[in-house]
């Protein structure tokens, strides 16, 4: 069996609550990889070969088994070509910032528009409102669109080279086995159309309309599912959620109405057919953990962000897999010894019996997210311990 | 944001026209982007 197949097998063993031969050691990393390589992403962004080569250096030096959130930061150049200035490089030149004060949010009338014609809004009028190039006359819009595509091609080429290189090294990426992707449809309002503040106010002032608009978007998502739950192309596959409002902005009822009940109604058949739902859990989850007992045992992989993994394990560790093991707080501000001690505690407490994969709690984006010496020590320790369980 | 006057052309037709642009005939990366990922990205289609 080659290294990729071994890593993939260990991943599904661990997440099926069985002890794997090696606990998967995972990574979440965007722009920090360039800091590690000693370059600045902004300086090489137009050269996809250099981008891929420099990003790869961390993976040449450090043993990694699985990739959770990896690749290039958001494509600043593409967004600029679309006429939008909501993304830009941070001061370090490696992190890409979402500059929310530059967002131009849409008015509350969009709920009615989406309820009337969700497809038309998402594919036509919504895009015209979001991206300034599509507010131009047709021929100018077309020319600008082609320019944006060319910028994206540059970004996409670098991304593809990185993916291929990780695969060559035998690193299993959870998106290799993607069966579906589902985040709450409210995310469109929360992150894109209305912004966090407006959309959360909308949930109080015009709840019925928000819910109806989310339902209309959910219906489109259901229509575009790649596979039927009983016709999956692989024996093991992964559904994917990134928590945004789900991880602490929703109250318990909103969490059920706008996320969890949809998982049960639409996606449970996939979980019953062996798909595992990987949740990149940004935020806090303690108040929703008990819900997972309504889903098949061993079907959930919860990546922890701000919750205490030991408390989470006590509450639900017998039922789901936890992805955790080190925090960026420690990697950035702790000593090497503190980092290593924390990793050891995670392996001691969470690895026995399976249901644990190692990963940093947040994606390493900016240069100051982690000290290089701490990261090296942490991965050496994690790889050593991962073979002992 | 105030309501804006939007141009009347249909973007879906514009995207289809880009897919059929002969410039990409020998360019599998661009064809793949046009077929799959770019619209998904614009739509924020998670």
Q: In chain A, which residues touch B (CB < 8 A)?
A: 78, 82, 104-107, 109, 122-131, 134-138, 141-142, 145-146, 149, 152-153, 156-157, 160, 181-183, 187-188, 191-192, 242
A237: nearest Cα among A217, A267, A266: A267
Distance between CA atoms of A193 and A66, rounded to whole angstroms? 33
Whether the CB-CB separation of A217 and A113 falls below 8 Å is answered with no
Token pair, residue A76, equals: 């600043």
Residue A99: per-residue pLDDT: 87
Check CB contact under 8 Å for A122 and B43: yes
State the DSSP string of A216-257: HHHHHHHHT-SS-TT--SSSS-EEEEE-SGGGTTS-HHHHII
Q: A195: left (phi > 0), else alpha (psi -120 to 50), else beta? A: left
Q: Using the Cα atoms of residue A247, residue A250, residue A256 and residue A260 in order, give the sign of their dihedral.
A: negative
**For every one of its 389 residues, what pLDDT tens digit does chain A have, with 9 covering 90 and above?**
999 999 999 999 999 999 999 999 999 999 999 999 999 999 999 999 999 999 999 999 999 999 999 999 989 999 999 999 889 999 999 999 988 878 889 999 999 999 999 999 999 999 999 899 999 999 999 999 999 999 999 999 999 999 999 999 999 999 999 999 999 999 999 998 999 999 999 999 999 999 999 999 999 999 989 999 999 999 999 999 999 999 989 999 999 999 999 999 999 999 999 999 999 999 999 999 999 999 999 999 999 999 999 999 999 999 999 999 999 999 999 999 999 999 999 999 999 999 999 999 999 999 999 999 999 999 999 999 999 76
CA distance B26 to chain A (A): 14
Measured between beta carbons, the chain A residues lying within 8 angstroms of B33 are: 149, 152-153, 156
Distance between CA atoms of A291 and A285, rounded to whole angstroms? 11
Q: Which of B14, B37, B45 sits opposite A141 (nearest CB)?
A: B14
pLDDT band at B23 (very low <50, low <70, confident <90, very high): confident
Q: Count chain A–chain B contacts defined by CB atoms under 8 A.
A: 77
Whether the CB-CB separation of A279 and A321 falls below 8 Å is answered with no
Among chain B residues, the shortest Cα distance to A123 is held by B12
Whether the CB-CB separation of A258 and A162 falls below 8 Å is answered with no
Residue B45: per-residue pLDDT: 66
Whether the CB-CB separation of A71 and A30 falls below 8 Å is answered with yes
| pTM score of the predicted model | 0.95
Check CB contact under 8 Å for B18 and A149: yes
Whether the CB-CB separation of B22 and A149 falls below 8 Å is answered with no
Token pair, residue A63, equals: 């043993």
Among chain B residues, the shortest Cα distance to A195 is held by B1
Distance between CA atoms of A111 and A246, rounded to whole angstroms? 20
Distance between CA atoms of A71 and A368, rounded to whole angstroms? 18
CA distance A270 to chain B (A): 17
Q: Mapping DSSP to helix (H, G, I), strand (E, B) and coil, where does residue A29 land?
A: strand
Residue B5: per-residue pLDDT: 82
Measured between beta carbons, the chain B residues lying within 8 angstroms of A156 are: 29, 32-33, 37
Cβ count near A204 (within 10 Å): 8
- Give the rounded distance of the alpha carbon of A266 from its chain centre: 21
Q: Residue A179: enclosing H or E segment and its boundaries?
A: strand A178-181
Whether the predicted pLDDT of B1 surpasses 60: no
Q: Which of B11, B45, B46 sits opposite A124 (nearest CB)?
A: B11
Check CB contact under 8 Å for B4 and A152: no
Q: In chain B, which residues touch A (CB < 8 A)?
A: 1-4, 6-7, 9-12, 14-15, 17-18, 21, 29-30, 32-34, 37-39, 41-46
A263-268 LR contacts (CB < 8 Å, sep 24+): A263/A182, A263/A295, A264/A294, A264/A295, A266/A182, A266/A218, A266/A222, A267/A180, A267/A182, A267/A239, A268/A295
Measured between beta carbons, the chain B residues lying within 8 angstroms of A78 are: 41
Q: Mapping DSSP to helix (H, G, I), strand (E, B) and coil, where does residue A142 land?
A: helix
Q: Mapping DSSP to helix (H, G, I), strand (E, B) and coil, where does residue A181 land?
A: strand
Whether the CB-CB separation of A248 and A200 falls below 8 Å is answered with no
């Amino acid at each position: 069996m080659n290294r990729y197949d071994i890593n993939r097998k260990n991943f599904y063993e661990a997440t099926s609550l069985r002890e794997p031969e090696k606990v998967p050691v995972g990574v979440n990393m965007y722009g920090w990889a360039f800091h590690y390589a000693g370059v600045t992403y902004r300086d090489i962004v137009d050269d996809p070969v250099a981008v891929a080569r420099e990003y790869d250096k961390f993976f040449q030096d450090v043993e990694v088994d699985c990739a959770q959130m990896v690749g290039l930061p958001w494509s600043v150049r593409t967004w600029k070509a679309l006429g939008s200035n909501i993304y830009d490089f941070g001061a370090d030149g490696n992190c890409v910032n979402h500059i929310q004060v530059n967002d131009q949010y849409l008015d509350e009338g969009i709920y009615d528009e989406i309820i009337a014609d969700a497809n038309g809004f998402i594919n036509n009028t919504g895009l015209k409102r979001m991206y300034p190039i599509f507010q131009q006359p047709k021929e100018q819009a077309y020319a600008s669109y082609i320019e944006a595509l060319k910028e994206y091609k540059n970004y996409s080429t670098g991304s593809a080279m990185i993916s291929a290189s990780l695969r060559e090294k035998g690193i299993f990426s959870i998106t290799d086995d993607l069966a579906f992707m589902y985040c709450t449809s409210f995310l469109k309002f929360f992150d894109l159309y209305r912004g966090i503040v407006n959309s959360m106010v909308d949930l109080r002032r015009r709840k019925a309309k928000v819910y109806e608009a989310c339902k209309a978007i959910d219906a489109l998502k259901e229509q575009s599912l790649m596979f039927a739950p009983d016709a999956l192309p692989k024996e093991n596959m992964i559904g994917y959620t990134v928590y945004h409002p789900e991880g602490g902005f929703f109250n318990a009822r909103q969490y059920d109405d706008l996320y969890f009940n949809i998982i049960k109604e639409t996606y449970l058949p996939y979980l019953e057919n062996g798909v595992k739902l990987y949740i990149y859990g940004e935020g806090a989850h303690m108040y929703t953990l008990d819900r997972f007992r309504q889903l098949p045992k061993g079907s959930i992989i919860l990546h922890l962000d701000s919750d205490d993994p030991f408390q989470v394990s006590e509450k639900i560790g017998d039922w789901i897999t936890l992805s955790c093991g080190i925090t960026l707080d420690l990697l950035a501000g702790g000593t090497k010894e503190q980092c290593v001690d924390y990793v050891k505690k995670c392996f001691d407490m969470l690895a026995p019996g399976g249901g644990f994969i190692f990963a940093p709690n947040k994606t390493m984006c900016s240069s100051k997210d982690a000290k290089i010496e701490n990261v090296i020590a942490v991965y050496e320790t994690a790889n050593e311990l991962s073979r002992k369980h | 944001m105030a309501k804006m006057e939007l141009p009347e052309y249909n973007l879906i037709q514009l995207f289809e026209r880009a897919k059929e642009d002969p410039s990409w005939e020998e360019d599998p990366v661009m064809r793949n982007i046009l077929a799959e990922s770019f619209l998904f990205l614009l739509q924020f289609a998670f």
